[in-house]
Amino acid sequence: MTLQWGYKRAFLRCALLFVAGTTLQMGLGDIDNSFLRYPWGLIIAINYVYLLVLIHFQQERWSWLKRLSDHYACTSSLVAMILMTMIFGLTRQDPATEGLVGALGFSRMTSSWSFNILLLYFTTTTGLAVMDDLHHIRKRRVAAVMSHLAVFVMLVAGIFGSGDKVRVSVNTQLNKPVHMGVDRAGKPTQLPFAITLKEFKMDEYPPKLYVLNTATQTSSRDFLSVEEVGASMVVDGWELTAEQYIDMAGRMPESDEYREMQHIGAAPAVLVRAKNTLSGEEYRGWVSCGSFIFEPSYLFLSKDIAVAMPRREAKRYLSRIEAENEKGETEKFNIEVNHPAKIGSWHIYQVGYDTARGRWSSTSVLECVRDGWYSAVHIALWTMLAAGVVMFVTAGGRKPRKEEQR
Amino acid sequence: MSWEQLIWFAAAATLCWITGAVLAFRSKRWWTAATASIAGSVIFFAYIVGMWIALERPPMRTMGETRLWYSFFLSIAGVAVFIRWRYKWILSFSTMMSVVFICVNLFKPEIHSKSLMPALQSVWFVPHVIVYMFAYAMMGAVTLFALYLWLRKREAEATEMGVCDNLVRIGWAFLTLGMIMGALWAKQAWGDYWTWDPKETWAAATWLSYLLYLHLRPRLKDNNIAFAVLCFSFLLLQMCWYGINYLPSAQGASVHVY
């Protein structure tokens, strides 16, 4: 099989773009996208799209411009992106990486020149396909037009809007208004509103009991989930039975007994009976995961084997906040994972809490995100979703048109 | 319902699927084969629903659970393609692949925790996983068919290549739906629709590779290149699905850990 000249030329173009990118990477280091902040990102994006329109309409006059939108360009840009994405996937993304991988920028792929130049080439071929689609819309498949357009909008917004995204992490404490946070680079950033954490609430999954080997530091694969008193299961040859369960428990320093304690720092405790299924050997005692106040308790079955309860897993956690804007207007929100709050152009996300205190956490970590380009991306994402549906519905049963074989 | 009951449901479903695969070749009435295959899928789905109820969450979190859906959707994809295009071989393929994944679940049981972390508690979780599993199933079927066409001595006919194209179009449509649903979900959960997480990176590579196939095919005279691209794309899909669990560069760097 011999490769057509058109393919050779297109792949050579990609190789040259890669070499140019690598040279820039070696000479200038990573791309700093801060110059793409509003309004410059928008101005450059508009000019870029205008340039694509010009290229599209000047193709008849200067035939070499066609080489940016023919199927050789399309194939070469796709192959280049597949290869770059594979390198991306195979390289650990760690800015501290040294050596050749670090020097080529592969360990910081999103800021590397070669990746971004080839991404721009891919965006250009996609953009020109969009122009061509729109120009000959009646002759095109609906799904292809929608996909090209949606991918192009997402790429343009992703590239030229990258400098506009602001992410500010805010550590809120109960009843203390905060209007400052830190951005991803660790720079203190002022917010246009003040956030006050009014309440932090957490639901947890039932406690789980594992058989732990303290010598090898390994735990059993199976576990007993204590959903009710009387729950029982055979774990690593031991029949574990929950005889008593206290959701909020505590114990005196000199005592082994747990009792109900309605207080901050209370920990779940289970009175466990463990019976060896072979020997019939039986042990009984309290097991608890402890808390920031209480030490954990184990039930030892031999010198190295014990029944243990890891910290309970969070089912859901919620921050009740009050946000006050610059005009002094306040608004109340409940923020959960997957349920952000929206204040003007900002979204506030639930990120974390004080894991050492768990359900008793009095702090909540929130992240305020402003992404001016997301509206365009949002529409593009839904267009792409619709394109997928259209493609599924129309798949098969029709031969490609002559225009598509161009 | 628990994992212990899987073998009984799987046996009944497999019996129906094999009956359907045989009837596709033997019976003159196509709907008998379709009915038998659908019956198998219904039995298998009943098990999934049972697990859903027993676990008190969608069974989509662990690898074993996603394999359940993969087996189910392979059978559905097989019967859907059979009903639409009447390819007799497809039911044998889908049955074989469904059974392989059931066997993996039977012989390599994993511990299945009941907990579902807060980030997974989203309206996008179920459609995202289901759509991806359907896409994987379609791509699995087309890869096997492409290998069959590639390895046999006779040159593939235009209609056979048309089958590959149709299956890839459907699979790619579902890959797209899965990826976009993931992006919408990620925006809702973390504020970013794309973060180049290792899973996302390999999903992008897979999506681009099948897209390359779709763009290459109308102008391609040599079918061998088409088959090679299909097999290569499926390797990328494996990397995306579970390969990253073993990839050193992805260790500790992905939120898609299960």
Q: Are residues A194 and A343 in the same domain?
A: yes
Same domain, B36 and B105: yes
Mean pLDDT of B152-173: 90
Residue A2 pLDDT grade (very low, low, confident, very high; cuts 50, 70, 90): low
Same domain, B96 and B144: no
Specify the pLDDT at position B258. Answer: 58
B60 class by beta-carbon count within 10 Å (0-12 exposed, 13-18 middle, 19+ buried):
buried
Residue-range definition of the domain harbouring residue A233: 206-312
Q: Is the pLDDT of residue A400 over 50?
A: no
pLDDT surpasses 50 at A404: no
Contact A51, A65 (CB under 8 A): no
A106-127: average pLDDT: 96
Give the position of tokens 């505590």. A250
Within a domain: A399: no
User: What is the mean pLDDT of the segment spanning B22-35?
Assistant: 92
Q: In the structure, what pLDDT confidence band is assigned to residue B7 with cuts at 50, 70 and 90?
A: very high
Confidence at B3, pLDDT banded by 50, 70, 90: confident
B65 plus B126 within the same structural domain = no
For residue A90, give the amino acid letter. L
Burial class (CB in 10 A: 0-12, 13-18, 19+), A66: middle
Same domain as B247, residue B152: yes
Q: List Cβ neighbours of A295 (8 Å cut-off, separation of 6 or more).
A: none
Same domain for B239 and B147: yes
Overall average pLDDT of the B94-103 stretch: 88
Tokens of B73: 């959707």
Specify if A403 maps to a domain. no
Buried b (16+ CB within 10 A) or exposed e, B27-47: eeeeeebbbbbbbbbebbbeb
Preceding omega of A39 cis (within 30 degrees of 0):
yes
Query: What percent of the residues of chain B are helix, what percent strand, and what percent coil, each to the nearest 5?
Result: 80, 0, 20
Q: B181 lies in which domain range?
A: 120-258
Please check whether residues B130 and B102 belong to one and the same domain.
no
Does one domain contain both B132 and B104?
no
CB A283 within 8 A of CB A277: no
The DSSP H or E segment spanning B238 is helix B223-241
A152 in the same domain as A89: yes
Interval B118-129: pLDDT, tens = 888 888 887 888
**Residue type present at position B200:** E
**Nearest by CB: B121 against A82, A338, A405:** A338
Cα separation, A175 vs A362, whole angstroms: 9
Our CA-based measurement puts residue B114 at a distance from the nearest CA of chain A, in whole angstroms, of: 9
**Residue B141: pLDDT over 70:** yes
Do the domain assignments include residue A405?
A: no
Convert the pLDDT of each residue in A194-215 to its tens digit. Answer: 999 999 999 999 999 999 999 9
Lowest mean pLDDT among A390-394, B110-114, B214-218: B110-114
- What pLDDT is stored for residue A253 in this prediction? 78
**Does B247 contact A86 at a Cβ distance shorter than 8 Å?**
no
Q: Are residues A73 and A131 in the same domain?
A: yes
Q: A300 vs chain B: nearest CA distance in angstroms? A: 24
Pair (B13, B112) in one structural domain:
yes
pLDDT at B130: 81
* Across A51-61, average pLDDT: 93
Exposure b/e, A167-176, CB count within 10 A at least 16 = b: bbbbbbeeee
Mean pLDDT of A350-377: 93
Main-chain phi, psi angles of A148, to 5 degrees = -55, -45
A192 and A321 inside one domain: yes
Same domain, B102 and B90: yes
Q: How confident is the model at residue A406 (pLDDT cuts 50, 70, 90)?
A: very low
A213, part of any domain: yes
Is the pLDDT score of A103 beyond 80? yes
Structural domain ending residue among the three candidates B97, B116, B135 = B116
- Grade residue A401 by pLDDT with cuts at 50, 70 and 90: very low
- One domain for residues A92 and A173: no
A134 and A151 share a domain?
yes
A328-346 tens-digit pLDDT: 899 999 999 999 999 988 9
User: Pick from B101, B116, B131: which residue ends a domain?
Assistant: B116
B174 — contact with chain A (CB < 8 Å)?
yes
Of B122, B191, B194, the CB nearest to A367: B191
Residues B141 and B202 in one domain: yes
Does A173 fall in a domain? yes
Judgement on whether residues A123 and A39 belong to the same structural domain of the protein:
yes
Q: What is the number of domains present in chain A?
A: 3
Query: Average pLDDT over chain A, rounded to whole?
Result: 91
Q: What are B50-94's pLDDT values in tens digits?
A: 999 998 888 887 778 888 998 998 899 889 888 887 888 889 988
Pair A107, A21 in one domain: yes
| % chain B with pLDDT above 70 | 97
Mean pLDDT computed over every residue of chain B: 89
Nearest CA in chain A to B57: A315
B161 and B90 within one domain: no
Higher pLDDT, A222 or A168: A168
Q: State the pLDDT confidence band at B112, using cuts at 50, 70 and 90.
A: low
Residues A131 and A264 in one domain: no
Q: Are residues A183 and A157 in the same domain?
A: no
Verify that B135 and B206 share a domain, yes or no: yes
Mean pLDDT of all residues in A376-381: 96
pLDDT digits (tens, 9 = 90+) for A281-319: 999 999 999 999 999 999 999 999 999 999 999 988 999
Nearest CA in chain B to A349: B190
3-state secondary structure chain A: CCCCHHHHHHHHHHHHHHHHHHHHHHHHCCCCHHHHCCCHHHHHHHHHHHHHHHHHHHCCCCHHHHHHCCHHHHHHHHHHHHHHHHHHHHCCCCCCCCHHHHHHCHHHHHHCHHHHHHHHHHHHHHHHHHHHHHHCHHHCCHHHHHHHHHHHHHHHHHHHCCCCCEEEEEEEEECECEEEEEECCCCEEEEEEEEEEEEEEEEECCCEEEEEECCCCEECCCCEECCCCCCEEEECCEEEEEEEEEEEEECCCCCCCCEECCCCCCEEEEEEEEEECCCCCEEEEEEECCCCCCCCECEECCCCEEEECCCCCEEEEEEEEEEEECCCCEEEEEEECCECEEECCEEEEEEEECCCCHHHCCEEEEEEEECCCHHHHHHHHHHHHHHHHHHHHHCCCCCCCHHHHC
Whether residue B237 is predicted with pLDDT greater than 50 in this model: the reply is yes
Residues of B in contact with A71 (CB under 8 A): 215, 219
**Mean pLDDT (whole number) for A369-380:** 94
pLDDT score recorded for residue B151: 92
The amino acid at B152: R
As a whole number of angstroms, the distance between CA B240 and CA B250 comes to 11
- Tens of pLDDT, residues A230-273: 999 999 999 999 999 999 999 887 788 899 998 889 999 999 99
User: Is the domain of A292 the same as that of A352?
Assistant: no
Chain A residue with Cα closest to B216: A75
Please tell me which residue of chain B has the smallest CA distance to A122.
B208
- Give the C-alpha separation, A45 to A376, whole Å: 13
Choose the closest CB to A1 out of B202, B222, B253. Answer: B222
ipTM above threshold 0.95:
no
Judging contacts by C-beta atoms under 8 Å, the chain A residues touching residue B218 are 400, 404-405
pLDDT for B111 equals 56
What integer is the mean pLDDT of B206-235?
Answer: 95
Among A312, A340, A357, identify where a domain stops.
A312
Interchain CB distance below 8 Å, B222 and A385? no
CA-based nearest distance B51→chain A, Å: 17
Query: Residues in chain B, how many?
Result: 258
| Shortest Cα–Cα distance, A304 to chain B (Å) | 23
Which residue of chain A has the CA closest to B229?
A: A79
Which residues in chain B have their CB less than 8 angstroms from residue A395's CB? 166, 169-170, 173
Task: Please say if the pLDDT value at position A141 is more than 60.
Answer: yes
Query: Cβ–Cβ contacts within 10 Å for residue A351, how many?
Result: 17
Work out how many domains chain B is built from and give that number: 2
Q: Given a cut of 80, is residue B233 above it in pLDDT?
A: yes
B255 Cβ contact list (under 8 Å, min separation 6): B119, B197, B199
**Residue B162, domain CATH:** 1.20.120
What is the distance in angstroms between the Cα of B24 and the nearest Cα belonging to chain A?
21
**What CATH number is given to the structural domain containing A338?**
2.60.98.10
Shared domain for A196 and A214, answered yes or no, is: no
